[in-house]
Amino acid sequence: MKIKDINVSSYPNSSKIYLEGTLHPIKVGMRRIDQLPTVKIKNGVRIEYPNNPVTVYDTSGPFTDPHCEIDINKGLPRLRESWIEKRGDTVILDEITSEYGKQRLSDPTLDSIRFPERNKPRQAEPGKKVTQMHYARKGIITPEMEYVAIRENLDNAERGIKSYITPEFVRQEIASGRAIIPANINHPESEPMIIGKAFSVKINTNIGNSALSSGIEEEVAKAVWSCFWGGDTLMDLSTGNNIHETREWILRNCPVPVGTVPLYQALEKVDGNVRNLSWEIYKDTLIEQCEQGVDYFTIHAGVLKAHAKLIEGRLTGCVSRGGSIITQWCVEHNQENFLYTHFEDICEILNKYDVAVSLGDGMRPGSINDANDSAQFLELDVLGELTEIAWKHDVQILIEGPGHVPLQKIEENMTKQKKACHEAPFYTLGPLTTDIAPAYDHITSAIGAAVIASLGTAMICYVTPKEHLALPDLSDVREGVIAYKIAAHAADIAKGLPGASVRDYELSKARFDFRWKDQFNLSLDPFRAKEYYLAARKSDSEGTEKFCTMCGPNFCGMRISLNIAESCKE
């Protein structure tokens, strides 16, 4: 199989710039948007006032670097490989060690769909831990930490906005567990990014096939598309065919951290028969995915056998796929959740690759009726207990959150999570603030996401218009990402992050100057903004008119404002 190159256009009037590190020889990619000058006529003389370019956070990786040759069949450059190598605490294994991985590799019927390039897996030297938390606690500032510090500050010095995030501050946040950098040593293609309350709000996107849909090529396209629009991390939630091979293609071409729910694949391995799940199958799946390079695992270790009976009292039971599977297993075997009982074992595997744990909220409410109930909050207490275990093993950790929560109950979630989980970063799905809008749940949830993120949630998981109805296609990924970029940005401004509103300022200035092109170029989706404008103003393909179709020339408030300012001066 050959996958043809994914065609992502570059952003208009934008260039890829690289900022250099001072502690490490690193280059941090960002997008610089250039602007036209502001033109004023004074006493009949045309004067141009230059407008500074705007630097924005860029998740698209090498795909938008014209100097980088992209070949999906070869994968992205291995950015972090030399950093990892230099630390000298890892070994390269002779072969992959999971049983399942070996079996897939030796199956000739898979030759046609297997990713062509092969890299041997890397692992910590015996007895070592290689997590960013481990380094941070030892006082080491890694290249990854310096990278995210530069990335978070953007490049606002010329606007008088001080760089407030230092590499040392990043190290402290990682050491304390308040932030994480998901960075599996087997996914060196990924550009470091940080998830924590003190930093800009991140968004996760979900892709993945199900038994009923979608192939490898389509999923890789969704992954690249998600990064292009602004997804900070990507979860591959595939539950269909060939998920091992699909994941390999995604990882080798994904410039952002990739997460999975290993339980899904474990269940596929036992043909969907929950009873036959076991710690051994799950463990082999963890190793398989650690060696492929997955950066974080959603693990439903907080679902306890004792909580199963709480499901019945709910309107919508247990809507977490992982949570319901594990609960069924507990009930059928009358045993405690093996993810809970083996959590220390899990941590000991993960810290050999630096895979972060994202503790799944198996009891997240599936309707606003079930929000903030005892099933949900009892699990949260268990997640707090597990957080301390993960930290004991220097494993980085996220806490997943709801779900469906009405506006008035959102704050309680954030407060309880912060207390129960010792300030480990919160990572919420939405939340959806009403149940009545299937096909528009990117909006019902963007409302909740903006509110909870402004209260301190570190990462919000996008919801697409297809939520509850079908798997998202490329167009849904775009809608979902933009809705969540909006929510995250609104929260960044509300949190008072220095420089968060620079882009708003510059876009509004462009708007007031009637620099239509700059207004488009500075927007989250320049293509659609321009498309809407041009559809109505076919004669103005250059975007030079000093009014729009909304108001027409006589009714343009901004145009009249300019006249008033002139009159006031006279």
Q: Which one-letter DSSP state was computed for residue 468?
A: T
Give how far Cα 68 sits from Cα of 63, 76, 77, 441, Å: 7, 9, 9, 37
Return d(Cα 393, Cα 413) in angstroms, integer: 27
> Which of residues 381 and 504 has its CB atom nearest to a copy of itself in the complex?
504
The minimum distance between CB 69 and a copy of itself, in angstroms, equals 31
The minimum distance between CB 469 and a copy of itself, in angstroms, equals 4
Return d(Cα 147, Cα 26) in angstroms, integer: 7
CB neighbour list of residue 471: distance below 8 Å, 6 or more residues apart: 208, 209, 210, 213, 214
> Which of residues 23 and 39 has its CB atom nearest to a copy of itself in the complex?
39
Q: Which one-letter DSSP state was computed for residue 513?
A: T
Return d(Cα 348, Cα 165) in angstroms, integer: 31
> Which of residues 22 and 334 has its CB atom nearest to a copy of itself in the complex?
334
Exposure of 273 in the CB half-sphere (CA atoms within 13 A): 5
> Which of residues 185 and 481 has its CB atom nearest to a copy of itself in the complex?
481
Return d(Cα 330, Cα 265) in angstroms, integer: 18
DSSP string computed for 46-57 = EEEE----EEE-
> Which of residues 143 and 323 has its CB atom nearest to a copy of itself in the complex?
323
The minimum distance between CB 427 and a copy of itself, in angstroms, equals 18
> Which of residues 147 and 426 has its CB atom nearest to a copy of itself in the complex?
426
Which residue matches tokens 């890397």? 122
The minimum distance between CB 519 and a copy of itself, in angstroms, equals 7
> Which of residues 216 and 507 has its CB atom nearest to a copy of itself in the complex?
507
By C-alpha distance, which of 204, 205, 213, 274 is closest to 238?
213
The minimum distance between CB 409 and a copy of itself, in angstroms, equals 9
Torsion of CA 409, 413, 419, 422, to 10 degrees: -160
> Which of residues 21 and 215 has its CB atom nearest to a copy of itself in the complex?
215
The minimum distance between CB 515 and a copy of itself, in angstroms, equals 13
The minimum distance between CB 11 and a copy of itself, in angstroms, equals 13
The minimum distance between CB 553 and a copy of itself, in angstroms, equals 7
CB 384 within 8 A of CB 320: no
The minimum distance between CB 390 and a copy of itself, in angstroms, equals 25
R_g (Cα) of the chain, nearest Å: 24
CB neighbour list of residue 126: distance below 8 Å, 6 or more residues apart: none
> Which of residues 195 and 310 has its CB atom nearest to a copy of itself in the complex?
310
